Structure 1
């Protein structure tokens, strides 16, 4: 019997809200459309919609985006309850969380499990614009398990950094989830093209899930089109796109991933990049000094 995992990407649309309850109701309604999925992925910083809950928010500078960290406890309680009641593993996008030392905020992906377990991943490479929000970077890349499937998290700009996916795949990842929040069409395509490249070069599945919507300034609009991607090879869609959402609007996509097919592709595919990258490790070691120069 095939080793299968059903995944859903929730393409969340940011809207002006009058409080956390309104945000939670929108979230619950969307997850009600993911029945049958074992793993659900939401976008990067979709919780930015909570910035609009304060009266007069349009006059506030975007540098105050970190105040959404005030909702961290409510956010955590919501998704712990949803993961438990729905029996799903939920990658609840990412959210800004105050750093333990009080120095800025971390762009943190939370993974909620039905048994109450919570895994966190702090974004290791922040997009240049994030520095204006007081965001600081993490330094840990650690996949987690959903049943027999090993999953890694690569938040938006991390997907544009090949080393992130390389480390996750070397640690066993079969699937990489990429929540994103891109402000322009060009930004969306940077992440999308890189997500497809990561799927090909590592022979993994990638779920790319962007935030959409435009509540208005000072928040930046969300642009994007969720997709589930795989290698471009026999047994997969020729263009590597296994499922795709409507662009720039709220939508849900679901795909059933065949892990046996993926592992067979790594052994016998036309392009066995997963093993060939390791096969020439001696070449990379020769140039290690140049690769790490300035580190």
Structure 2
């Protein structure tokens, strides 16, 4: 039986006095999840933005000025997560970071393996705030990460950052690359935004008959325009079939309550659903793509007066 214990963070944004305070917080969070047996730890989208608190106050609301200034902390950010993943032998999807790329910036989720090595997945679809106010560029490239499991097996997973989860194409490419798990770090200011990401993630789990792990940012941070308010709850979604939950929710935390949601993913259940479920979304994906033709407009007559 292939089981992976995952930890999804409902992670709160704090104002830090110095780097040491930030380092202590992240170190404690990772130690907590690892101590509870978590092997794959997921932090939310833009969790790294609490580092804005270490910038000069005049940059806290300066969207253009904060982006280059944050690059100064990136080497230490990478080193910290690399050391923690290696120390605890865990895989960490770090809170995404606005990283300088070419002449602009991308929203990058760094993925740290148990040996401390790191790779990344950039966000592909920008929200209006990112595109129109913060000028964050779409990333390029899609990656499937392979995590060794006990018994010589492996799990492949992919990352869909927040808005990315609302579009089927990315998750489908990841699933075609062997992904059995979709990791969804998110930053949503209102319940409506959280609902969009939640529904998108559940739809991607249904379409591809895979698990989706949703890790939201929690914030009351009016000290920076880049964050302000963020809300949500950590959750794990699954296709509603056979021995998986009937409502498609494998686990979930409390609303706006910081902490780890730690749960076991039985990969045997989703593999069985793909092979012999009541419905076979994964098997039927090609037919669903090929059978629809261009829509024909059919005018309907107005009601006849009597």
TM-score, structure 1 normalization: 0.91
Cα deviation 1:215-246 (Å, max 9, x = unaligned) = 21423211111101111112111111111112
Mapped to 2, the partners of 1:280 and 1:43 lie a distance apart of: 32
Mapped to 2, the partners of 1:23 and 1:246 lie a distance apart of: 24
Q: Which residue pairs with 2:219 in the alignment?
A: 213
Q: Which residue pairs with 1:14 in the alignment?
A: 13
Partner of 2:146: helix, strand, or coil?
Answer: strand
- Return 215-224 or 76-85, whichever deviates more: 215-224
Mapped to 2, the partners of 1:13 and 1:53 lie a distance apart of: 16
Corresponding position: 1:234 with 2:246 = no
Q: Which residue pairs with 1:128 in the alignment?
A: 128
Work out whether residues 59 and 65 of structure 2, in 8 Å CA contact, stay in contact via their aligned partners in 1: no
Mapped to 2, the partners of 1:69 and 1:274 lie a distance apart of: 41
Q: Which has the larger radius of gyration?
A: 2
Work out whether residues 146 and 157 of structure 2, in 8 Å CA contact, stay in contact via their aligned partners in 1: yes
Following TM superposition, by how much is the alpha carbon of 1:205 offset from its aligned partner in structure 2, in angstroms? 0.3
Work out whether residues 59 and 66 of structure 2, in 8 Å CA contact, stay in contact via their aligned partners in 1: no
Partner of 2:96: helix, strand, or coil?
Answer: strand
Cα deviation 1:133-179 (Å, max 9, x = unaligned) = 23111121121101110100000000011111111111111000000
Following TM superposition, by how much is the alpha carbon of 1:280 offset from its aligned partner in structure 2, in angstroms? 4.0
Q: Which residue pairs with 2:146 in the alignment?
A: 145
- Return 53-62 or 252-261, whichever deviates more: 53-62
Corresponding position: 1:170 with 2:176 = yes
How many residue pairs end up in the alignment? Answer: 284
Partner of 1:270: helix, strand, or coil?
Answer: coil
Partner of 2:15: helix, strand, or coil?
Answer: coil
Work out whether residues 9 and 209 of structure 1, in 8 Å CA contact, stay in contact via their aligned partners in 2: yes
Mapped to 1, the partners of 2:289 and 2:104 lie a distance apart of: 38
**Structural mapping, 1:58-77, within 5 Å:** 60-66=61-67, 67-77=69-79
Q: Which residue pairs with 2:303 in the alignment?
A: none
Corresponding position: 1:274 with 2:282 = yes
Q: Which residue pairs with 2:233 in the alignment?
A: 225
Mapped to 1, the partners of 2:252 and 2:170 lie a distance apart of: 24
Following TM superposition, by how much is the alpha carbon of 1:281 offset from its aligned partner in structure 2, in angstroms? 4.2
Following TM superposition, by how much is the alpha carbon of 1:22 offset from its aligned partner in structure 2, in angstroms? 1.2
Q: Which residue pairs with 1:33 in the alignment?
A: 32
Work out whether residues 52 and 60 of structure 2, in 8 Å CA contact, stay in contact via their aligned partners in 1: no
Q: Which residue pairs with 2:112 in the alignment?
A: 112
TM-score, structure 2 normalization: 0.88
Q: Which residue pairs with 1:93 in the alignment?
A: 95
Following TM superposition, by how much is the alpha carbon of 1:58 offset from its aligned partner in structure 2, in angstroms? 7.6
Work out whether residues 53 and 60 of structure 2, in 8 Å CA contact, stay in contact via their aligned partners in 1: no
Mapped to 1, the partners of 2:116 and 2:24 lie a distance apart of: 21
**1:59 and 1:13, CA in 2 relative to 1: closer, same or farther beyond 3 A?**
closer
